[in-house]
Structure 1
Amino acid sequence: MADIGQVERPGILATIAPYFRKRPFAALLLGISSGFPLTLLLGTMTFWLARVGIEKSTIGFAVGLTTPYTLKFLWAPLIDRIRLPILTGWFGQRRAWLFFVQALLFGAIWMLGASDPARNLGLFAFWAIMTSFLSATQDIVIDAYRIEILPDEELAHGTAANQLGYRIGSALIAGVVTVALASPQGLNLGWALAYGLTAFCVIPGALAALWVGPGAHERAVAVDPEARGGSWLETTIVNPFREFFSRRGAVLILLFVLIYKVGDAMGQVMLNPMIVDLGFTDAEFIAINKVVGLWGIIVGTALGAPFLAWLGMGRALFVSGMLMMLSNLTFAVLASRGHDSTWLAIAVMTEQVTSGIGLTVFVTYLSGLSNLAFTATQFALLSSFAAVGRTWLSAPAGIAAEQLGWVGFWILTTVVALPGLLLLWLLWRRGFVVESVRRARAGASA
């Protein structure tokens, strides 16, 4: 069976050159703004909660605060259609919503940092939910805008650049810099100011949107006050879902998106609590992530687009899934060795490289599945299903770590990844992996 990217196998220079074009670079800046809030809620927040003595089982379920990421497809159609007064006229539909949501997100993150989970966990949870809702809404806009500004020949590279920006915003800035700002072993500014300063990461995405301008396929559709409600409802909400579910294998594709990264998500939730349990200091954690982690992100993400070009979509998904699954075993080795900086560096490097490749391939696949006529809604649907796996299927991770110990837990995350790979093999054999992408792109150009 033919696969995307297998007709020609371009040379290494041809696969690297598009990274330096305007639109892929703008996608990188958008990724920085998109990536940092989720890590503030999952990675950095769990580190914070562990430091103030919150139980591991509670930390594991704190991931449920990101539920809006799993439900964003419900309000994505409204963002596709509703025009914001004044702003839409000035900037167009996508950019108007981006600037509006980013202003609200900035304020919510400041309030989250100012909350004290040790004294008032309820207030802390409220601002975490508000940050999550606004961040998920920002993702709806950024994902649609990113897909719409990238031509087909730059989609993989733009997605890879976006993922690099996402990882810089999440792993480096929110995951390392924020901890360094707050930690007594760093600048010791406290969590409130650390979170507040991190909120300025909304700026790169705003600058990118001003630089690139409206997307080529942007649909700034005005709401016709004389149109009948049923017609507006059908156009806005029904048609995007109808088009997607009319494709062969649509339900199996959604199931695959749901479970593909569950093992990786379980590990992400409990990594920072394990680092604390193993006795690593804030300074050790920051140093390894700043040096080893950053280079792992850069290498892995840069390899994403060439990886896809050389293997094709189906094989790239399968191989990158295997690599991400096996990378969890390096953390099992780390857990067995205890406080071992060498193995922490090896595990972090392996995880960052494999995740950089895997996320680039996976998000390119989801982007290709999104019909440009319904970009925001369909990509929100797909990424929401992916977020369900990350949020709720991985929520019992804390209980698993308590029951199995750290070594057993990381072995479990490896086993949990197998069903996703088996389902991918089934989709690939039936031709659904490639066919659905081709139909989406063909429908967009029709």
Structure 2
Amino acid sequence: MIKTRQEYLRVIFSGRMLVVFLMGFSSGLPLLLTGSVLQAWMQEEGVDLGTIGLFALVGLPYTLKFLWAPFLDRYSLGRMGRRRGWLLRVQVGLILALIGLGLTEPAISPLSVAGAALLVTFFSATQDIVIDAYRRESLADHELGLGSSFYVNGYRLGMLLASGGGLILADYLPFPQVYQLLALVMLSGVFTTLLAPEPGTSANLPKTLREAVIAPFLEYFRRPDAFLILLFILLYKIGDTMASHMTIPFYLDLGYSKTEIGALVKGFGFWATIVGGLIGGGVMLRLGIYRALWAFGLLQGISTAGFAVLGIYGYSLLGLAAVIVFENLSGGMGTAAYMAFMASLTNRKFTATQYALLSSLMGIPRVIVAAPTGFFAESFGWVPFFSCCALIAIPGLLLLRRFQSWL
């Protein structure tokens, strides 16, 4: 933990944090170019909704990235080092894949679009593996919280540019040109990689591919609380995730217009999340990860209960704004602490593999647990549903007490 103001400011304005922010931007930019932007392009070209829906499967590399992460721990490419050597080549591949995706023709050959999109998500997921490992290895343990918040904010800025900026550009330019322009924006990631220093590495790196594949899992699961840690990762943000999945139908059901939702949720909500991430990172420098996880977890639960209060109160623009700002602030802080916690768990010898495993696990609530939330809300009603989502935060917080001695 940092105690003096001088140390605090020196860490915040360090070059390491700028590099982490820019790398977060590079990670967030490609995500929605195979999501909402691609969906808009296919819709414009007259592709049927069933085919568009199936394109969700091109995101599989993001959930399976732990399968090839050991290769990135085992091998180094060129003279730039183990992390930067891989990162430069992956980013060049990602730029070429985005240009290739822009050259496809959705109306004529959806299969070629799927192949190009899958190539984009593969390079994007691989970039995430290397950047996550770089962040862990380049930051000291007490800097992980702030570094995670800088990374998350850069990530969200990249997503905003790709989705919002990409769709706005598509009103003035053909979609192929939009993809070419955004592929050029990815050059910012290449320049960051070229200028960033290679992080220090463990002296005892994997010497065989078998060691790189098997040893990270053996090392992790030999820890006393290995399975409880995985359970905590599943539970910590599960209530927040379940509630967030159903907020748009909830707002519409209360009578808010799409314009009101867009202005408040996407406007206030985005900036509140950015501010929350920065506050969370700064607070963690003072409190450390353990106390920050407790504080932010409690705030997440209270903010989720805010939806239940709004459900009782009914339509109110002021009430909606208050709930959205509070929920996104606490969510931004919780995410920063959550990612810092996962980074702190990784062994520097197997950073890429272990972080890829944990971050893949982090996506399970978003994909699987959130799936039946519509049935729950329909069966119980909005107020009981959001009340349950708030209470689900308690088991994860109770597990934290088990980790106090070493966290």
Calculate the TM-score normalised by the size of structure 1: 0.74
Cα distance in 2 for residues equivalent to 1:129 and 1:273:
30
Give the count of matched residue pairs: 404
Residue 180 of structure 1, aligned match among 148, 153, 168: 168
Alignment of 1:279-294 (within 5 A): 279-281=257-259, 292-294=268-270
**Percent identity (aligned):** 36
Q: Give the counterpart letter for 1:31 in structure 2.
A: G
Cα distance in 2 for residues equivalent to 1:205 and 1:354:
29
Label 1:116 to 1:424 Cα distance change in 2 as closer, same or farther (>3 A). Answer: farther
Cα distance in 1 for residues equivalent to 2:42 and 2:388:
28
Task: Check whether the contact 2:204–2:349 (CA below 8 A) recurs between aligned residues.
Answer: no
Tell me how large the CA RMSD over aligned residues is.
Answer: 4.2
Per-residue CA deviation, residues 359-407 of structure 1 (Å, 9 max, x unaligned), is 111111111111111111111111111122223333455x549x729x9
Where 1:67 maps in the other structure, the secondary structure is helix
Q: Give the counterpart letter for 2:132 in structure 1.
A: D
- 1:382 matched to 2:358? The reply is yes
Q: Which residue is equivalent to 1:319?
A: 295
Q: Which residue is equivalent to 1:24?
A: 17
Calculate the TM-score normalised by the size of structure 2: 0.80
Per-residue CA deviation, residues 237-291 of structure 1 (Å, 9 max, x unaligned), is 121111111111101111221343334444555667888996525xx77765775
Where 2:213 maps in the other structure, the secondary structure is helix
Report how far residue 350 of structure 1 moved. Answer: 3.1
Q: Give the counterpart letter for 1:130 in structure 2.
A: L
Report how far residue 70 of structure 1 moved. Answer: 2.1
Residue 257 of structure 1, aligned match among 196, 209, 233: 233
Task: Check whether the contact 1:101–1:134 (CA below 8 A) recurs between aligned residues.
Answer: yes
Q: Which residue is equivalent to 1:96?
A: 85
Q: Give the counterpart letter for 2:339 in structure 1.
A: V
- 1:74 matched to 2:67? The reply is yes
Q: Which residue is equivalent to 2:368?
A: 392
Task: List alignment gaps of at least 5 residues for structure 1.
Answer: 224-231, 438-446
Report how far residue 74 of structure 1 moved. Answer: 1.4
Cα distance in 1 for residues equivalent to 2:49 and 2:311:
19
Task: Check whether the contact 2:17–2:150 (CA below 8 A) recurs between aligned residues.
Answer: yes
Report how far residue 55 of structure 1 moved. Answer: 7.1
Alignment of 1:266-277 (within 5 A): 266=242
Q: Which residue is equivalent to 2:335?
A: 359
Cα distance in 1 for residues equivalent to 2:371 and 2:104:
23
Report how far residue 22 of structure 1 moved. Answer: 0.8
Report how far residue 40 of structure 1 moved. Answer: 4.1
Q: Which residue is equivalent to 2:395?
A: 422
Report how far residue 153 of structure 1 moved. Answer: 4.1
Task: List alignment gaps of at least 5 residues for structure 2.
Answer: none
Q: Give the counterpart letter for 2:277 in structure 1.
A: T
Residue 139 of structure 1, aligned match among 112, 125, 128: 128
Q: Which piece of structure 1 moves more, 145-154 or 243-252?
A: 145-154
Cα distance in 1 for residues equivalent to 2:96 and 2:151:
24
Where 2:363 maps in the other structure, the secondary structure is helix
Cα distance in 2 for residues equivalent to 1:273 and 1:376:
38
Label 1:324 to 1:241 Cα distance change in 2 as closer, same or farther (>3 A). Answer: same
- 1:404 matched to 2:397? The reply is no
Report how far residue 143 of structure 1 moved. Answer: 0.5
Residue 191 of structure 2, aligned match among 207, 215, 231: 207
Per-residue CA deviation, residues 27-51 of structure 1 (Å, 9 max, x unaligned), is 1111111123334455666788899
Cα distance in 1 for residues equivalent to 2:33 and 2:320:
22
Where 2:200 maps in the other structure, the secondary structure is coil
Q: Which residue is equivalent to 1:442?
A: none
Report how far residue 193 of structure 1 moved. Answer: 3.8
Q: Give the counterpart letter for 1:95 in structure 2.
A: R
Cα distance in 2 for residues equivalent to 1:194 and 1:338:
41
Per-residue CA deviation, residues 280-306 of structure 1 (Å, 9 max, x unaligned), is 25xx77765775345323321221123
Where 1:248 maps in the other structure, the secondary structure is coil
Cα distance in 2 for residues equivalent to 1:124 and 1:276:
34
Report how far residue 111 of structure 1 moved. Answer: 4.9
Label 1:357 to 1:81 Cα distance change in 2 as closer, same or farther (>3 A). Answer: same
